[in-house]
Amino acid sequence: MISSLRIWGSTSKRLVQGIKHDGGFVSSDDGPERMPDLETLDDLIRIPNFHDWLSLRAAHVEKERAMILLPYREELIGNPMIPAIHGGILAGLIDLAGGAAAFTITNAPTPTIDLRVDYIRPALEKDTVADARIVNSGSTIAFVDVEVFQLPGEGEPVRAEDIGPDGVDVHEVGKLVATGRATYSTKGAKPQPGPDDHPIG
């Protein structure tokens, strides 16, 4: 399983996986279309002010998949009694991660048509990762499934067998806190993006 996050202590850092940069976009394997590389997606996702305020980071990108990291900070807390991250913040993270996955096949903003979120357990004071994968897509709509994990916090054990050459597999060490399914409009798809094209949530 592909992992894109490497953990040192309690700090999550991006790992660029040997992808060749070519003007910020790379060719897909099955056609002339181009999709953003990791560094470019990382810049694009923070163009909207809300995304920038969340300090979101792109953790991994490939065709039909994107992983977005939400670094923890105190302002994200919605329930101070637990404390837990606000559910609306998680919903926004799911929406953007799904939109970023859709962007890999459209190179254009993909307005959200529908979004469903299931909250599995409270999201605590930890960094959070959304892993979005397209399950089906066509000329007008893309269906995306998203899983949201929280990374181990400071002092929490990480098994040696869960650490590979690409870092830590969040599916092995992370705790699932929410899932989402979203549909996005793909009507604006184009072979290459224009200067104003970026993922939206």
Domain spans in the chain, listed from the N-terminal domain onward: 19-154+166-185
The CATH class for the domain spanning 19-154+166-185 reads alpha beta
Closest by CA position to 64, among listed 43, 23, 22, 33: 33
pLDDT at 3: 40
pLDDT at 13: 39
| pLDDT tens for each residue of the chain, 201 residues long | 334 454 333 334 332 232 233 345 555 554 435 788 889 899 999 988 999 999 999 999 999 999 999 999 999 999 999 999 999 999 999 999 999 999 999 999 999 999 999 999 999 999 999 999 999 999 999 999 999 999 887 667 665 555 555 555 777 778 999 999 999 999 989 888 877 888 876
pTM across the whole model? 0.81
Long-range own/partner contacts, residues 29-37 (CB < 8 A, 24 or more apart): 29/63, 32/191, 33/105, 33/107, 33/191, 33/192, 34/107, 34/191, 34/192, 35/61, 35/63, 35/103, 35/104, 35/105, 35/107, 36/61, 36/103, 36/104, 36/107, 36/193, 37/61
